[in-house]
Structures are given as structure tokens and as C-alpha cells.
Amino acid sequence: MKILHFYRTYQPDSCGGIQSFIYQMAYGATQRGHNAEVLFLSRDLPSSPLETANHTAHPVKLDFEFASTGFSFSAFRKFSELAEKADVIHYHFPWPFMDLVHFATRVSRPSVVTYHSDIVRQKLGLKLYRPLMNAFLGSIDHIVATSPNYFATSEVLQRYKLKASVIPIGIDHAMYPVPPESTLDRWRARFGREFFLFVGVLRYYKGLHILLDAVSDTDIPVVIVGAGPIEQELRARARRLNLSNVHFLGEISEEDKLALTTLCFGVVFPSHLRSEAFGISLLEGAMCGKPMISSEIGTGTTFVNVDGETGLVVPPSNPDALRRAMIYLRDHPDQAQRMGQKARDRYKTLFTADIMLSKYLALYEDMLTAAKSGKR
């Protein structure tokens, strides 16, 4: 089976939750004997194929951006060329330019879209985009939500529920580097094992300003890993609050990330807006057997982290509640450890890449069968 993924960015040009998801999908499908390729836009990479570990990624030139949406003139021809050879096209929503390419190229192949997130912040843009969005989602054969929570709370997904299903995101532990003892020792010497960890791109919806407020006037150590658009703003806020217990590490290697996840007391994930649809770093914490703290925003974060079972869930934008949750776990280490073990068990039951991939491949096969029988 030939599978084409289409999204606005991809590794190594950009790293994030959706890029990681696409990589897991493409890598896993190729491991099972299929042919997976990825088409994406890039400002820096040459427009020539990139060979990853086992699949091909095709960057095309990012010509300009408007309202946080990338556009590429050369993407139309390249998408048409790759899609004509594909058996299944896998889109990743939201990205309005993708909708334009879909209609302009008139490629007729079985198609699925993974619905990663509602459009939350761009209210005016959404009003203008809505007709195209509805036409695009209406033309796709199948829509996949990444959690039952998001499926139930998204007005857009409810509109298309008759052709939608839920396949949770999964990750493969074997694809993560094993940190050597020397790396663990280095981080252990610096932070010990009592710190809370945040990993992610530093964006407006991550709620990190809430986390900083929550740990002000406390001795709770917090390590923040990642870079992003609001990094300097957050660092300035930490300085104003005199937060000597908060440590910004910026971007670090995957080996170092896993070492810190292995060593930390718990994972804190204060995202407060629905732009946070799932939370891959929560999954990584669960994979490593760590208790988690997240906010109830009606998305996949509360599907990964079940309140009172795998960790604690607090109201969004509530520093006091977040502080109380962190103190509670710190003061109840045995209970925190049990929550971490349940998080690990839940990961193995629901969130492995193998489970995710099997469900998607079965969906692809069903769409191909329907296309061959003329039931699309």
C-alpha cells in the first residue's frame, strides 16, 4: 500500500507533536512493508527528497505565510505528482492551504484526515475559512479524532460524526534513545529527583504563565524543556517573580529529554486552551511511569491523564489549584508512585504506536475495499 501524508511542516525542519505523530505513522507503516511518504513545506530545506530512517519526505518551498498558514506555489504540482501514485492520502487538519490543494488538484484517491485540533484563536479567520473547511471535511472519506474527549466536545467533529471515528495517538518506546547512566548522573547531580518536568514548544496555549504563578513563593523545583515564540516572555516573567526554583533548558537532545523524564518526580502539563488537543509529552511521561498533572479542557489531555488514577486534573487557568496538586503529589510519594504505575499500564493498553498503526492500516484497507467496490 502506498500512503501519502500531507502537512505544513515535518522533521527535521520542525519538531512537535503532529510531526512526531506523522513520523511514527510513516515509520511504522514502512516497517510493516508499506510505502509511506510525507509532503511538507519548508523555508530552509532544499526542494529535494529527504531520506529518513526508512521513508521519504518531500519538502517544497514555503513561499509566504498569511494568518499563520503557509502557502507554496510548487506544492500543487508536487502533491498532484505524489498523490497520483498513492493508494491513500492522509491529511492532517487544520491547515487551510491543504484544503485548497485538495480541491485544485482534483486527485481522486481514498482520503482520511486526522483532526488534530479545532481552530481556537483565529476567530475572524475561522468565519472566512468555514465554507472551505466544511467543503473539505465533507469531501473526505473518513475523519479521525485523536481522543473520545475531543470527539465529544468538538462542534465541528459532531457535524461529521457519521463518518468519523476515534484512534488515539500512540508512541513507540523502542524509537526513543536509552539514556546512558552517565547522562542520568549528570542531570541527577543538577536537579535531583524531586522536580516536576514540562516538555513542549513554548506557545501561548501551554499555560506556562499559570505554572510560573503556581510555583511562586514555593520551593517546588520545575524544569522547563523546549523553545518557542513566548520563551523570552516566560523567562522575563520568571525573573519578575524571582523564581530561582524554575529552570529553563531550551531545546535539548532526545536523549536528555528522556533522561529528565526518567528522573523527574512527575510531569506537569498546564495547557489551558483547546489548541492543546492531546499532549504527546503526557504520553511520554506515562510511558516512563510518571504521575501527571493536567487541566480539564475537554481534550485528549484528560484521556491520557485520568484524574485520581494516573495523576491529577485541575481547572484550567487556576494557579492555586495547580499549586495544590503539585504539593499533594510531593507530599504523598507512595500514592504518586502508584499513579505513575497506572499511567504506565494505561500507556501499554491504549497508547502504543503498534495499536495506533494497526487501527489506521485497517481503516486504510476498509477505504480501499470500499473504493474498489464503488461504495465511496
The CA distance from 15 to 257, in Å, is 14
Average pLDDT over residues 296-315: 97
Q: Are 292 and 266 in contact (CB under 8 A)?
A: yes
Domain parsing of the chain, residue ranges? 2-172+353-372, 174-350
pLDDT over threshold 80, residue 125: no
pLDDT over threshold 80, residue 375: no
Give the model confidence (pLDDT) of 90-117 as tens digits. Answer: 999 999 999 999 999 998 899 999 999 9
pLDDT over threshold 90, residue 13: no
pLDDT over threshold 80, residue 57: yes
Give the model confidence (pLDDT) of 215-236 as tens digits. Answer: 999 999 999 999 999 999 999 9
How long, in residues, is the chain? 376
Identify the CATH assignment for 174-350 out of 3.40.50.300, 3.20.20.70, 3.30.460.80, 3.40.50.2000: 3.40.50.2000
Count of beta carbons in the 10 Å neighbourhood of residue 235:
17
**How far is residue 182 from each of residues 36, 179, 252, 259, 336, measured CA to CA in Å?**
37, 8, 16, 10, 26
Superfamily classification of domain 2-172+353-372: Glycogen Phosphorylase B; (3.40.50.2000)
pLDDT of residue 376: 64
pLDDT over threshold 90, residue 121: no
pLDDT over threshold 70, residue 85: yes
Four-CA torsion 207, 212, 218, 219, nearest 10 degrees: 100
CA 224 to chain centroid, in Å, comes to: 17
Which candidate, 73, 154, 141, 148, places its Cα nearest to that of 107? 141
> Please, what is the average pLDDT of the chain?
95
Helix (H) or strand (E) holding 352: none
pLDDT of residue 70: 92
Look up the pTM and report it. 0.92
The CA distance from 136 to 121, in Å, is 20
Which three cell numbers mark 4? 501519502
Buried/exposed code over 309-341 (b: 16+ C-beta within 10 A; e: otherwise): ebbbbbebbbbebbbebbeebbeeeeebbebbe
Are the folds of 2-172+353-372 and 174-350 the same?
yes
**DSSP one-letter string for 265-321:** SEEEE---STT--S-HHHHHHHHTT--EEEE-SSSTHHHHS-BTTTEEEE-TT-HHH
Q: Are 343 and 292 in contact (CB under 8 A)?
A: yes
> pLDDT category, 15, cuts 50, 70, 90?
confident
pLDDT of residue 49: 92
Average pLDDT over residues 121-133: 84
Q: Based on the number of CB atoms within 10 Å of its own CB, is 358 exposed (0-12), middle (13-18) or buried (19 or more)?
A: middle
Considering the chain, what percentage of its residues have pLDDT values greater than 90? Answer: 88
Average pLDDT over residues 189-212: 96
